[in-house]
Amino acid sequence: MACDPIRRPGARPFLQAAVLASVLAGCAAVGPDFLAPTAAQPADWDSWRSGPDSLRDPISTAAPPDRWWESFHDARLDALLDQAREASPDLRTAALRFAQSRLMRQTVAAQRGPDVGLSAGVSRQRQSEYGAGTRMLDAIAPNNREQLVSVLSDPFTLYQAGFDASWEIDLWGRVARSIEAAEADVDASAAATAQARLSVASEIARNYFELRGAQTQLRWLQEDIATAQASQDILRARRDGGQIDALDVSRQEALLADLSGRLAPLRAQEAAAANRIGLLVGQPPGALRDVLSEARDADAAMPDLALGLPSQVALRRPDIRAAEARLHAATADIGIATADLYPRIVLGASFGYESFKDGKFGEWGSRRWSVGPSLSLPLFDQGRRRSTVALRELAQQEAAVSYQQTVLRAWQEIDDALTGYAAERRRNLELQRKLRASGDALDLARARHAGGLTDFLPELDARRTLLQARRDLAQSDSQLRIGLVAVYKAIGGGGQVAPRAPGS
């Protein structure tokens, strides 16, 4: 009875070496270990501000709402953002990229296990009468060469089937570092997806308030045109009756023409904002006409600034998380390049059947097998591998600088957003005072004109001032909400953030 070749004494040293190598595999990974950087941050919201103290509003350290756009209390805006989550092309693209990064991580992680494959084939063959296989006949059987050649060169059918297996022992952590880099890429892709969600929500909200601002100005403008038209009719009648001259009528006609000329640009602004919103939610032009029709609901009061703690900005802002993940991947790439400086050991084994007789193909005598390690040792490559290590180290330093720049840029955007919002709040308050004063001035001018104390010119000037004040206030109300959207975007959105685990 033939013994199993796997159990022969000669195979035992290899098996022992394989067991020892598998124990050592992954025990040490060359290259630097990643340490999460500490993002620079101010002690409180009043620090790291370049604006004057007069442009600083009180900021609450309470966590901002997760769905921060709901703080505007606008049901139509909420519905648009819910629709964008399902249909936005930008969010769908980001989700597909995230799925690709996860599959890439699975692909890289597959290197950790063995690679096993099956093969089978049937081929019809004929050997050359003067090929390498028949060359030895000239030396060992010169007298019978022709007879042996005729037998060896006779066409035959070869049947083959079996499997092959190989496994690279990760002695230096090349595979482990590759998986680490792939996982960092997944983290970067997840942060990019969060950035896409934040950008889409911010852009929809910004364009929505631009559209509402244009609609409010259109409503005021149309009322002003109707009032100016009625005043013009009255003035014409008084002119025809000889009570006034044509100058007052001409001035009123000029005012009416100026107001009418403002309609087309505002309508174009409204249409452009609607189209931008439609693109963000994956809808063609005009599809959201009913949803975006003018809403005459009273504007809700502006919410207080609840931005959480400054230390949460680095955890909340997706671009900072993405920069950290890229730094992590660059650090792992150094280990991958360093591992290429050391030898690789691959364990291989194959087993199968091979026969040129179909009746003998499945018999034990037709078996073939091989087992053993292979070693790849880099000796001389003119410094290519070491240059690659140096290149990866420079890439890591670049990623570290990029991370620091991303953090500084984040706080610059926060300062700009907070200062801009505070400035608009103060402008809005002054415009409210201007509107009240303009209304009082118009009432007084009308009373004096009706009493014959003045001509129509003071009333006309007072009306122009009032109309401009209403338009300026409507624009400021829109800009105030856009400014708050910019603040929420600058801090990375809303919601609680989980604390980072030590060493992560």
Give the pLDDT of residue 128.
76
Percent of the chain with pLDDT over 90: 43
Asked whether the predicted pLDDT for residue 13 surpasses 50, the reply is no
pTM as predicted: 0.82
Nearest-10 crossing angle of helices 384-450, 318-339 = 170
Buried b (16+ CB within 10 A) or exposed e, 358-389: eeebeeeebeeeebeeeeeeeeeeeeeeeebb
Asked whether the predicted pLDDT for residue 9 surpasses 50, the reply is no
Q: How confident is the model at residue 496 (pLDDT cuts 50, 70, 90)?
A: low
Asked whether the predicted pLDDT for residue 1 surpasses 90, the reply is no
| Tens-place pLDDT, residues 138-192 | 667 667 777 777 777 778 788 888 888 888 888 899 999 999 999 999 999 999 9
Give the pLDDT of residue 226.
87
Give the pLDDT of residue 402.
96
How far is Cα 495 from Cα 485, in angstroms, rounded to an integer?
A: 15
* Structure tokens belonging to residue 282: 């994956």
How far is Cα 245 from Cα 15, in angstroms, rounded to an integer?
A: 115
Listed residue (285, 325, 286, 270) closest to 34, CA to CA: 325
Give the pLDDT of residue 298.
52
- Could you tell me the CA-to-CA distances from 504 to 36, 98, 294, 326 in Å, in that order? 6, 21, 49, 14
| Tens-place pLDDT, residues 253-271 | 888 898 899 899 999 999 9
For the ranges 19-33, 250-264, 267-281, 304-318, which has the lowest average pLDDT? 19-33
Q: How confident is the model at residue 57 (pLDDT cuts 50, 70, 90)?
A: confident
Asked whether the predicted pLDDT for residue 435 surpasses 90, the reply is yes
For the ranges 5-14, 61-70, 153-162, which has the lowest average pLDDT? 5-14
Count of other CB atoms within 10 angstroms of residue 499: 10
Q: What mean pLDDT, rounded, does the chain reach?
A: 85
Q: What is the average pLDDT across 270-282?
A: 94
Q: What is the average pLDDT across 487-501?
A: 76
Give the pLDDT of residue 409.
95
Asked whether the predicted pLDDT for residue 299 surpasses 70, the reply is no
Asked whether the predicted pLDDT for residue 498 surpasses 80, the reply is no
One-letter amino acid of 219:
R
> In degrees rounded to 5, what are phi and psi of residue 347?
-90, 130
Pair 163, 116: CB distance under 8 Å: yes
Q: What is the average pLDDT across 4-22?
A: 46
Percent of the chain with pLDDT over 70: 89
Pair 345, 21: CB distance under 8 Å: yes
> 31-114+172-344+387-490, what's its fold?
Outer membrane efflux proteins (OEP) (1.20.1600)
Q: What is the average pLDDT across 22-35?
A: 73
Give the pLDDT of residue 198.
95
| Tens-place pLDDT, residues 178-230 | 999 999 999 999 999 999 999 999 999 999 999 999 999 898 888 888 888 88
For the ranges 12-16, 24-28, 37-41, 135-139, which has the lowest average pLDDT? 12-16
For the ranges 27-31, 111-115, 189-193, 434-438, which has the lowest average pLDDT? 27-31
CA dihedral 195, 198, 199, 200 (to 10 degrees): 120
Count of other CB atoms within 10 angstroms of residue 403: 21
Q: Rounded to an integer, what is the distance from CA 261 to the centroid of its chain?
A: 42
How far is Cα 229 from Cα 219, in angstroms, rounded to an integer?
A: 15
Asked whether the predicted pLDDT for residue 14 surpasses 60, the reply is no
How far is Cα 414 from Cα 424, in angstroms, rounded to an integer?
A: 15
| Tens-place pLDDT, residues 339-366 | 999 998 889 888 888 887 777 777 787 8
Asked whether the predicted pLDDT for residue 414 surpasses 80, the reply is yes
For the ranges 45-49, 384-388, 450-454, which has the lowest average pLDDT? 450-454
Residues 6+ apart with CB under 8 A from 504: 36
Per DSSP, the three-state class of 370 is strand
Pair 341, 386: CB distance under 8 Å: yes
How far is Cα 61 from Cα 79, in angstroms, rounded to an integer?
A: 28
Asked whether the predicted pLDDT for residue 10 surpasses 50, the reply is no
Listed residue (161, 90, 195) closest to 410, CA to CA: 195
